[in-house]
Structure 1
Amino acid sequence: MSAKKPFALRLDEKMMQAVEKWAADEFRSTNGQIEWIIHEALKKAGRLPKSDAK
């Protein structure tokens, strides 16, 4: 697994609540859900490095 880089993210309160609920619905942590959302968006846009495009 690659190293993780800490990053501060500011979200609107209602957006954060929506992400937290989505994460709970899918049995993920909020952080894990945000990582998954970003990964899926990068994959869809064709912007993942070849080694990460699963």
Structure 2
Amino acid sequence: MADKKNFPLRIDPKLFSIIEEWASDEFRSVNAHIEYLLRESVRKAGRIPKKNSD
């Protein structure tokens, strides 16, 4: 498994509740769902290349 960078995140409690429910709907932990959302946002912004479908 790749190393992960740890850092504290301060987030509005209402937003956290929304993400918590959404993560549950997707069968993910809140941490995994936040990472997923960030990764998708970065990908859509063109900041990282799409994976090759070899």
Larger gyration radius, structure 1 or structure 2: 2
Structure 2 unaligned spans of 5+: none
Structure 1: gaps (5+ residues): none
TM-score, length-scaled by structure 2:
0.86
* 2:39 matched residue in structure 1: 39
* Percent of residue pairs bearing the same amino acid type: 49
Task: Give the 5 Å matches for 1:8-27.
Answer: 8-27=8-27
Task: Give the aligned length.
Answer: 51
TM-score (norm 1): 0.86
- Segments of 4+ in structure 1 off by > 2 A? none
